[in-house]
A and B are shown apart, each in its own frame.
Chain A
Amino acid sequence: MPPLTPGNVVVFVADGHRFALPGARVVEIARVEQVTPVPCDDPANLGVVMHRERVVPLLDLPRRLGLSGERRRGRSWLCLYVRTEQGEIGFPIDTVVGFGPMGRLRMPEPVTAIDPGELWDEHGTHPDH
């Protein structure tokens, strides 16, 4: 996992797992009510939503990282939208634990640091696959 760079960090919980990512990546946190499932090979891909008039894919982050084997249920989730080099993406989350500058934010443990831009290669696939 990448080290967190100095700056603001957002810490959140998804499917019981704590994650931290650079605050500069965060676009918005909003609840989604209508997810359109897209049949696909990767079970971590949950479908797409319309977010601010754009089609945005939703990703089950714990499942993508191999931390959870269960497919996320339901179709109404709190979503953390982040920007990546490839485009915007949403992560369904349970809650936000904290947001603030590195060093001042009390970082809970365990926590997994992620950089959303490194979850895919240029072909749209997980680099570890």
Chain B
Amino acid sequence: MALKWTRGLWPVPPWLIVAVDGVDYAVDGRRIRHLTPGPVDQPGEIVFDGVSYPPVDLRELFGLPPAAPGHGRVVLVEDGGGRRAALYVDAVRDLARLDGGDCTPLPWVYAGRERRWFQGLATSEGRLVLLLSLDGLLGAVPEPAAAEA
């Protein structure tokens, strides 16, 4: 399923809500290029439209137990500056529109690498959602040339 956002249709940027190990995370919809099924237990590079997307296994990155064999979803994202990644998640839930009033910074007790992973938290339909920071996540992805060296 390719996502195409129509500018002006959404009053605020849409967020894609994905699930990893039972927790909901939100991905900035403006950065998403493609959604596709993928083996959650064997993340690998995805080539889409002639472009390579290095894998980012969110379970591994977050120190969570490996997924059971089976298919989850892969969210192909880019930051507009040439950095890309294939985010491996367990499932895609829905789209949400989150405005500033729904969002709050990460509490002060979180002072480690999580500061790079998350922009903050939001409430959506009574549940708490972690807002992924694609700048932080993609910053950890090796450049394709460096990866091949």
Interface residues of A (CB under 8 A from B): 36-42, 45, 48, 50, 55-57, 59, 86-87, 89, 120, 123-125
Contact = CB atoms under 8 A, between A and B. Distances in A.
Interface residues of B, number: 22
B28 interface: no
A59 B121 CA distance: 17
A86 B109 CA distance: 9
A3 B104 CA distance: 35
11 contacts: A36-B23, A36-B121, A40-B110, A40-B114, A42-B110, A42-B111, A42-B112, A48-B121, A57-B108, A124-B110, A125-B111
B114 A124 contact: no
B3 to A, nearest CB: 25
A36 B128 contact: yes
B107 A87 contact: yes
Interface string B57-77: 000011110000000000000
A45 to B, nearest CB: 6
B130 interface: yes
Given A48-B107, A55-B121, A41 B23 contact: no
